[in-house]
Structure 1
Amino acid sequence: MTGNNKLLAILGNYKPAPWRGRYSLSRLFFNFYLLVMGSFVAIAIFADFVISTAVKGITDDYTSRFMRGTVLLIEEELFRKPRSEWPRTIEALDRKFAYKLEIVDRWTLSLPAAQAEKLDGGELAIDAQGDIIYHRLKQTPQILVVGPISPERNPEYRRGMPLDLRISLLTWSLIGVCLAIVVWLWVHPVWRDLEAMRQTARALGEGLFEARAPIMRSSAFGPLAETLNGMAERIQRLIATQKELSCAISHELRTPIARLRFALEMLAETHDAAEGERLSRMMESDLDELDGLIDSSLTYARFEREQPELHLAEVEIAPWLEEQVEGIRLLGRQLELQVDTDALPPQLRVDLDRRSMPYAMTNLLRNAIKYARTRIRVSAEIVGDQIQVHVDDDGIGIPPGERERVFTAFTRLDRSRDRSTGGYGLGLAIARLVLEQHGGNAFAGEAPLGGARFTLSWPLSQNVTES
């Protein structure tokens, strides 16, 4: 089984796995909302704790100064009367204040060391919650306790919830609603983009390689969608190329294989040594044709599939063209091959890949040798920022309507299948692939010699990397 058939078989048998725990939009929203809101509340509580701890001393000092006058007035009112009347006096005063008043013995209190020291030193002491004040009544063991606020006497507490707590709850509710709106506005387009990409990936997994991800509403998924579409395009192109190669190669193999089978049958039946030698030469020629077809097909598939990285180098173009022509001059036999670089500046250097560009040049020269009658001319010129190399022949030429089609793989304009001009229709396709990798193009036209002109065009200067 060929690599293409294996790939198609795998894709045909592929079944998308069920999405376990698939998130719906509401679930994604609530999970993200709870995460954000929980983090926000945790940060707010921590910040409140830090701030409260930092300002506690300041708050306690402010409370002491604020309540000192009231406490001293209550103390003076008590000392105007005998100590036996203090309970009745404090009870009468207690009914006039919003916070609770009482007198206790010093030994009944358990305060932090710092507050106990203040209390014994005649200053106001405050409990850990900051809502009860303690004051020692002069040098007696009696302690005046002021607070906490009595719910029965304060109208704000009669509703069952302190005002500051109600304000806090209302504030947090408004923050929660605003945050929910913001999270929804952020999550909804993200979910739509994720769902669109999921549908595209699922279609690709089912073998629908024409599927493409739509334009993403979220900029975060734009590059991912472009990458996915690029991958789908490349897979679609590779599969199409493999199908085309498989069909074309299968078709091209029939002729030499049929001739080999016919020659074998004839060889088995003949007893003439000369005829046997002729059939053997035919079979050897067919084997060479098969070898050439396979080599050309592999070269085309490699350039089409891998898009190999270019290793550009600066090359003096005139000697390089002479070298390419000399390497193939023997195949031209009686043909006249000329190289004309007079239109180029002296010692002009251009950037090209020394490994791949000879493929393009050799294929153009081989094509010209097939169709030229007496003469082939290779010339070069500068057009704008491009270097253009022309290969002209004096053959039959190419009709204008067919000049683009000849660069399609396995396309041959001649209808003959003989070995002189048959070819495989891959040389020009390989030449165009090489030039596209160089950022240029290969195209056909009419030659001044009367036949066909094939032109390789690519930028004079590119980023040069070491090979």
Structure 2
Amino acid sequence: MNRLFFRFFVLVTLSITVAAFVIYFAISRLFGDPLDDIARRQAAAEIFLLEQYVDKAPADEWLVRLNKVREVSRANLELVPLARARNAVPAHGQAALERGDVVLDAAHKAFFRRVDLAGDRYIGSADEVIHAQNLPIDVGLALEMEALRYAIVALALLIPIALWSRAHWRGLQSLSAVADEFGAGKLSARAKVKPSASIYPLAERINHMAGRIEGLVESQANLLHSVSHELRTPIARLEFALELLRAKAPDGSLEPRIAAMEADLAELNALVGELLGMAKMGARETVARAPFDLALALRDCANSTPGSEPAGSAPAAANRKLHTDIDAALGMIEGDQRLLMRAVSNLLRNAEKYAKSRIILRARRDGSGVEIVVDDDGPGIPDMERDRIFEPFYRLDRSRDRATGGFGLGLSIARKAVELHGGTILADQSALGGARFVIALPAGGLVLRT
């Protein structure tokens, strides 16, 4: 936002500068050089004496008065041939010289003017020109005056623009903060702008959009929560009916069918539990933070996963395939331990389903935060699918499908839990040949302690 307004002010300043040059050249083209006007005012005393004192004298006294002016004036007045004056005067002043006007040469602090057009003053006066030098003309002062004039005009324009832009900048900063909060999951964030503000209509539209989105998300979460709860009752009834059916067939003839139906009910019950978890997770905007030992929590999480073994030890059984490499210097962090460990547990259970013989859980701490990595040696995840696997109910078409169990909600829940702590989670290729999941918890989002 600051960069936007910096560019705006640079553009305005450049526009005013270009406009000043355009105005200067346009006025010079139409009305003459403004510097000549300033120089004419500075040489007004000598011009006045020449026009009002010397030229008013009779023909026989003209040279006498010119000599008197030479005595009292600091300027050097001399008579030069007309041909010499024509060579010294620039092209744009030739016509004025021929008319008998005063032609200023501000750069050399001088002016030219013909003595007489008809030769009445004295013999040969029609072929001579008065050349006044060392006039009190200060071009530097003239340039400073012009610069000051344009600076005043620029300030007169920039100050109102700055005040107007500041009001817009503050309003846009408020909208930017609301957008950041809304994007971070705080769906109740709204822009508070005065009705008199110029961006008030935009803020109202953004608030209306945010309200619609919040309402849709809440409706979806409420529907998901309600449906999940409503499914609990028929599931309980079916479980009770299966028990009754088992009691009606004591010979065990229906046991295979009953076991298959119970497996389906258990799967449905697990799905309802996952749906409830998703609904609760989606309704949360913040987490309750409390300090806990991250290394100890990760070890407990790994020990609760089937097939775990300490780092560096040999597998004691064929089903033991989880290795841990957790840095003891992780220290304490502040966050929701249950949510974070559920995210890690979901990643470990996901790896447990697809790994061939080995899973590694690593955790490291550096200046940027904490990194938790889960590697497996399974079939891996195609590049095109690595972003989509975190979507709810999304499963891969080949090796990672429903036949291996799960409903496509575990990774989605893990991502939501990590994002609530200000972290990120991504999928990549593992050095073991399978999938790698990386959880990055930034130091700015968590209070890290040794």
TM-score, length basis structure 1? 0.44
Radius of gyration: which is bigger? Answer: 1
TM-score, length basis structure 2? 0.45
